[in-house]
């Protein structure tokens, strides 16, 4: 296997200029103004995973410093190095040194900084205050509410919106074409369903499915990520609602054996498919409540086999009630 074949597609196709970032036009326009002025404030990027926060920070420093951007940038994952000692030593030592390039400051990118301890955040606040002449910070977080208010007030906040289906599909198709991967429409739909708007997850799913060497279709995508196809889960639920308990139970075990699913995995997929059933809205609400109760029991440590069978049994009884109501 060559080095090119071992490269993660997420990194291989990561944009290095702001204009190539997917579906964050407002953010890009504001950042381009900072690049134009050769000056930036402290930045806080907030938004769901896989929406381009880290990419935007890397594009920004790339456009600020050109090919020498690595010499002027320190990138840390704050969830791994989240303690006060790292902030006081590594971050502070880097922040206090002066940049010798055309841009008179360096940039420290702290990814997943919402995982930092409170003490580390208070220490970081002080460093941001002391060394603003030599260093700018680009803080990246999934949850802005977990960042202390004194840090938020020192930053220009950029909120990243979830990516649309068209945005994710367009990027996945582009990568598939570049890599010579045959991607079917149902395969693309499956990638969208499993990614939930997270472009990083979508690209990883594409690469994992393509590694099998065949056509990337719905079955392949769900198999490599360890999830059953929505159709199979929906058919299992429909069998239970129609009163076929043993058939539904056999379908359940097929899903467990074929895809290696755990109890919580199946419950989550059942919850998703409930809202795609052709039943009254009141019935969907009642079934969602049943699923929630089973999920709670599993979280508390109940036996998976017993609880999943109990869920199917409840669906059988509720299906019978629905038929009685419709006949009345």
Tell me the per-residue pLDDT of 211-241, one tens digit each, with 9 for 90 and over.
988 899 998 998 888 888 889 999 999 999 9
Report how far residue 109's alpha carbon sits from residue 114's, in angstroms, rounded to the nearest whole number.
Answer: 13
Q: How many domains does the chain have?
A: 3
- Chain-centroid distance, C-alpha 229: 20
Give residue 178's pLDDT. Answer: 93
Q: Which residues contact 274 (CB under 8 A, 6 or more apart)?
A: 237, 284, 287, 288, 291
**What is the extent of the structural domain holding 316?**
230-327
Strand partners, 137: 108
Give residue 79's pLDDT. Answer: 62
Tell me the per-residue pLDDT of 142-178, one tens digit each, with 9 for 90 and over.
999 999 999 999 999 999 988 999 999 999 999 999 9
Q: Which residues contact 19 (CB under 8 A, 6 or more apart)?
A: 28
Give residue 81's pLDDT. Answer: 55
Cβ atoms of 34 and 27 within 8 Å: the answer is no
Is it the case that residue 199 has pLDDT exceeding 60? yes
CATH of the domain at 122: 3.40.50.300
Report how far residue 312's alpha carbon sits from residue 241's, in angstroms, rounded to the nearest whole number.
Answer: 8
Tell me the per-residue pLDDT of 107-147, one tens digit each, with 9 for 90 and over.
999 998 888 888 889 988 999 999 998 999 999 999 999 99
Report how far residue 101's alpha carbon sits from residue 111's, in angstroms, rounded to the nearest whole number.
Answer: 24
Give residue 2's pLDDT. Answer: 45
Report how far residue 136's alpha carbon sits from residue 69's, in angstroms, rounded to the nearest whole number.
Answer: 14
How far separated are the first and last CA of the chain, in Å rounded? 66
Residues 180 and 218 reside in one and the same domain: yes
Residues 203 and 283 reside in one and the same domain: no
What is the pLDDT of the chain when averaged over all its residues?
89
Tell me the per-residue pLDDT of 15-53, one tens digit each, with 9 for 90 and over.
989 999 988 889 999 999 999 998 899 999 999 999 999
Give residue 212's pLDDT. Answer: 87
Provide the whole-model pTM.
0.81
Give residue 328's pLDDT. Answer: 65
- DSSP letters for 252-275: HHHHHHHH---HHHHHHHHHHHHT
Residues 239 and 286 reside in one and the same domain: yes
Residues 38 and 88 reside in one and the same domain: yes
Banded model confidence at residue 323, pLDDT cuts 50, 70, 90 = confident
CATH of the domain at 171: 1.10.8.60
Q: Which of 15-24, 70-79, 242-251, 311-320 has the lowest mean pLDDT?
A: 70-79
Q: Which of 159, 184, 212 is the last residue of a domain?
A: 159
Q: Which of 144, 159, 174 is the last residue of a domain?
A: 159
- 123 burial (CB, 10 Å; 0-12 / 13-18 / 19+) is buried
Give residue 80's pLDDT. Answer: 59
> Considering only CA atoms, which of 242, 208, 213 is closest in space to residue 224?
208
Residues 76 and 104 reside in one and the same domain: yes
């Amino acid at each position: 296997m060559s080095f090119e074949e071992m490269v993660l597609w997420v990194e291989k196709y990561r944009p290095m200029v702001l204009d190539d970032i997917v579906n964050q036009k407002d953010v890009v326009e504001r950042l381009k103004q900072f690049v134009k002025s050769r000056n930036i404030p402290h930045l806080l990027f907030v938004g769901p995973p896989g929406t381009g926060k880290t990419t935007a920070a890397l594009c920004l420093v790339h456009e600020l410093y050109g090919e020498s951007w690595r010499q002027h940038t320190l990138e840390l994952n704050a969830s791994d190095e989240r303690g006060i000692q790292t902030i006081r030593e590594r971050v502070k030592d880097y922040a206090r040194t002066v940049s010798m390039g055309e841009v008179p400051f360096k940039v420290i990118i702290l990814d997943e900084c919402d995982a930092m301890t409170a003490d580390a955040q208070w220490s970081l606040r002080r460093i941001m205050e002391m060394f603003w002449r030599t260093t700018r910070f680009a803080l990246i977080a999934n949850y802005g509410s977990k960042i202390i208010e004194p840090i938020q007030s020192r930053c220009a906040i950029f909120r990243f919106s979830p990516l649309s289906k068209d945005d994710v599909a367009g990027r996945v198709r582009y990568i598939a074409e570049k890599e010579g991967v045959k991607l079917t429409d149902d395969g693309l739909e499956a990638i969208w369903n499993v990614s939930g708007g997270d472009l990083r997850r979508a690209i990883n799913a594409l690469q994992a499915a393509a590694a099998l060497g065949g056509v990337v279709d719905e079955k392949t995508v769900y198999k490599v990520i360890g999830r059953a196809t929505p159709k199979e889960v929906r058919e299992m639920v429909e069998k239970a609602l129609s009163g076929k308990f043993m058939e539904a139970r056999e379908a359940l075990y097929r899903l467990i054996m074929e895809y290696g699913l755990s109890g919580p995995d199946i419950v989550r997929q059942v919850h998703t498919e409930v809202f795609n059933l052709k039943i009254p809205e009141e019935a969907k609400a009642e079934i969602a409540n049943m699923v929630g109760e089973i999920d709670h029991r599993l979280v508390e440590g109940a036996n998976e086999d017993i609880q999943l069978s109990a869920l199917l049994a409840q669906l059988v009884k509720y299906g019978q009630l629905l038929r009685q109501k419709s006949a009345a």
